[in-house]
Amino acid sequence: MTGPSSEENDPPGGQPGYGAPGQQPGGLSPHGGGTPGARPPQVLTAAVLGFVAALFLLLVAFTYFALATLAGVLALFGVLFLALAAGCIWGGVQAIRGTGSRVLLVAAAVTAGLVLFGIVTALVTGTGLDVFSVLVLVLLVGSIALLQQPVSKRYFASRGAR
């Protein structure tokens, strides 16, 4: 007599079990460690935050390009924010692929520094707090914080990336 078939071992509903105790579907442990080689949710979230920040940076860059007809120096700011958006996109793609986090970390840190400088300048000059800038700053700081998590660092280290 043979043992029970795999269909008999599956839980009701035809879906296979979750594996080892304490694991969630997809092999992720409840502590965010994941299975060896699996991309942790912190890395994916950091990349998505970088992509969303890049979208906002593109909007700012295009606004500066549009206003460059009034003052030519604004085109330089447009180029700067376009380059920072490209850095966030490139870094986000690298993070998702698992090839490294350095580009996203640097792009997010430089952009966050510029945005923070803009916020402080606006507050000091009395022009008021810009909610858009605060949102971009939160996205960038969130991305940096998630990439600095130990689980994210272990993931990139296990893939030979930095």
pLDDT tens series, the chain, 162 aa: 555 554 444 445 554 444 444 444 444 444 444 555 689 999 999 999 999 999 999 999 999 999 988 888 889 999 999 999 999 999 999 999 999 999 999 999 999 999 999 999 999 998 888 889 999 999 999 999 999 999 999 999 988 876
Q: What is the pLDDT of residue 162?
A: 67
- Looking at the chain, list the stretches that DSSP marks H as alpha helix, in order from N- to C-terminal side: 6-9, 41-67, 74-97, 102-125, 131-147, 150-158
Q: What is the tens place of the pLDDT at every residue in 50-97?
A: 999 999 999 999 999 999 888 888 899 999 999 999 999 999 999 999
**Per-residue buried b or exposed e for 5-40, using 16+ beta carbons within 10 Å of the residue's own CB:** eeeeeeeeeeeeeeeeeebeeeebeeeeebeeebbb
Q: Cα 34 to the chain's mean position, in Å?
A: 18
**How high is the pLDDT of residue 25?**
44
